[in-house]
């Protein structure tokens, strides 16, 4: 046997820091502690009733068997229709794969396009899962690090491109910053990708959670970029369906077919019941989405106003998603030297959970999610202010 019982690939894997915080919160809750949870990025709303009803009907109808690996045709048709009408990109159902959350589709996409030694350019702050998934595909993540207030310009990407660059990963609206990519910038990135024949993996899972701007899919900038792009979308955030484990990818058939083959040898289809629920979500969930969006917007505006009153925080108004990524550089000192420590102390002393910026490569920032009631948000921010003043 080799030195370790576990493969080098897995020894190299960093567990999800966000999930680690969640596990700590659950431990404290089990001990009876009342925690204000501004940590995990998961909608607090219940899945809308019409979506649940469709799932219950699927079970009652006995729609409980394997489906096609890539998902039922009616769902892929509905996704294609949505992508055409809302995102202005034309796909046939054979160019769409439905998977076990967008997380699985992303993993499979990297496996399909990357060879060992390939590079994938990413922009940070970023969701750390991409880094681990790229490494698992044998490729090298190359990060272009943005500074506060995290406005991307095409040169941020251009300067990281080498002969080895296989793909650019975009995520907008972004986790953790909530910022989207402006249309003119997207267009330049599309041109860059086409000129250099580089793939784009475009994670647009937060597309419906934009508060004043309109979402543009990079694949909509023309046929050439469309044929280089895998657009990733989901149901988890838009329809409050995190537990149903369903998401999708859309792209040219020569990339989607191998993703389907890989999925066929790993998980097979995602739950047949979740597929029926997702179909109902696309067809009839829009009013619920608007109602949730309104509530998130209220919380976002409140948080911005409230945090603006605390001196010394690096703060901006996010375009979308349900996150604030807040700078605490001015509050770090010998006693609390990193966001990790800061978040741990905040949890212990004030019982407020946030995600330390280290998870997104920024040790002097922290992320809060406004996926809890306005009442909890208010109380959480009151405690954060008290904490900040105590250690100022
Ligand atoms: N992409 C981003 C940027 C996310 O933040 C998340 C979840 O936190 C996902 C993808 C995964 O979503 P799911 O697998 O639930 O579709």
pLDDT on residue 179: 96
Q: How far is the CA of 61 from the centre of ligand 1 (A)?
A: 30
Which of 21, 42, 98, 102 has the most ligand 1 atoms within 8 A of CB, as the residue to mutate?
102
Q: How far is the CA of 297 from the centre of ligand 1 (A)?
A: 20
* Per-residue model confidence as pLDDT tens for the chain (392 residues): 657 899 999 999 987 767 777 777 888 888 888 899 999 889 999 999 999 999 999 999 999 999 999 999 999 999 999 999 999 999 999 999 999 999 999 999 999 999 999 999 999 999 999 999 999 999 999 999 999 999 999 999 999 999 999 999 999 999 999 999 999 999 999 999 999 999 999 999 999 999 999 999 999 999 999 999 999 999 999 999 999 999 999 999 999 999 999 999 999 999 999 999 999 999 998 999 999 999 999 999 999 999 999 999 999 999 999 999 999 999 998 888 889 899 989 998 999 999 999 989 999 999 999 999 999 999 999 999 999 988 87
pLDDT on residue 2: 58
Per-residue pLDDT tens over the stretch 99-126 = 999 999 999 999 999 999 999 999 999 9
Helices (H), 197-285: 223-226, 253-265, 272-284
Say whether 49-285 and 8-46+287-390 share the same fold: no
HSE-CB of 78 using CA atoms within 13 angstroms: 19
CATH of domain 8-46+287-390: 3.90.1150.10
Gyration radius from the chain CA atoms: 21
pLDDT on residue 1: 61
Whether 42 and 235 have beta carbons less than 8 Å apart is answered as no
pLDDT on residue 23: 77
Ligand 1 touching residue 41 (CB < 6 A)? yes
**pTM of the shown model:** 0.96
Per-residue pLDDT tens over the stretch 132-177 = 999 999 999 999 999 999 999 999 999 999 999 999 999 999 999 9
pLDDT on residue 391: 83
**309/26 Cα distance (integer angstroms):** 31
Question: What does 128-140 look like in DSSP terms, one character per residue?
Answer: THHHHHHHHTT-E
pLDDT on residue 26: 82
Ligand 1 touching residue 247 (CB < 6 A)? yes
Torsion sign, CA atoms 34, 384, 24, 237: positive
Ligand 1 touching residue 239 (CB < 6 A)? no
Q: How far is the CA of 175 from the centre of ligand 1 (A)?
A: 9
Identify which of 389, 387, 321, 268 has the alpha carbon closest to the alpha carbon of residue 41.
321
Domain locations in the chain as residue ranges: 8-46+287-390, 49-285
Question: Would you identify the CATH topology of the domain 49-285?
Answer: 3.40.640
């Amino acid at each position: 046997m080799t030195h370790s019982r576990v493969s080098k690939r897995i020894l190299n894997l960093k567990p999800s820091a966000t999930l680690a915080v969640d596990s700590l919160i659950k431990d404290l809750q089990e001990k009876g502690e009342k925690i204000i949870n501004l940590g995990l990025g998961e909608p607090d709303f219940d899945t809308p009733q019409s979506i649940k009803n469709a799932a219950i009907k699927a079970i009652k109808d006995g729609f409980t068997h394997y489906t096609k690996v890539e998902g039922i045709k009616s769902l892929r048709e509905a996704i294609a229709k949505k992508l055409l009408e809302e995102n202005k990109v034309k796909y046939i159902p054979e160019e769409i794969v439905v998977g076990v959350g967008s997380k699985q589709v992303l993993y499979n996409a990297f496996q399909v396009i990357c060879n060992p030694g390939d590079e994938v350019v990413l922009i940070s702050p970023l969701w750390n899962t991409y880094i681990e998934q790229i490494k698992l595909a044998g490729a090298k993540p190359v990060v272009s690090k943005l500074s506060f207030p995290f406005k991307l310009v095409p040169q941020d990407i251009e300067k990281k491109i080498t002969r080895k660059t296989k793909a650019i990963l975009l995520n907008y609206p972004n986790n953790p910053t909530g910022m989207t990519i402006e249309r003119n910038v997207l267009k330049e990135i599309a041109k860059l990708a086409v000129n250099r024949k580089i793939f784009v993996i475009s994670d647009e899972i937060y597309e419906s959670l934009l508060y004043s701007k309109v979402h543009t899919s990079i694949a909509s900038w023309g046929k050439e970029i469309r044929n280089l792009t895998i657009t990733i979308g989901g149901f988890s955030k838009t329809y409050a369906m995190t537990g149903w484990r369903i998401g999708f990818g859309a792209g040219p058939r020569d990339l989607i077919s191998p993703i389907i083959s890989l999925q066929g040898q790993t998980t097979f289809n995602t739950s047949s019941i979740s597929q029926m629920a997702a179909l109902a979500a696309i067809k009839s969930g829009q009013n619920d989405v608007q109602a949730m969006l309104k509530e998130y917007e209220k919380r976002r505006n409140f948080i911005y106003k409230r945090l603006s009153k605390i001196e010394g925080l690096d703060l901006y108004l996010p375009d979308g998603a349900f996150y604030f990524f807040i700078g605490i550089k001015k509050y770090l000192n010998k006693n609390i030297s990193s966001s990790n420590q800061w978040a741990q102390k905040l949890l212990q002393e004030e019982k407020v959970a946030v995600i330390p910026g280290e998870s997104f490569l920024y040790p002097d920032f922290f992320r809060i999610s406004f996926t809890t009631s306005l009442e909890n948000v208010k109380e959480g921010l009151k405690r954060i202010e008290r904490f900040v003043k105590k250690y100022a």
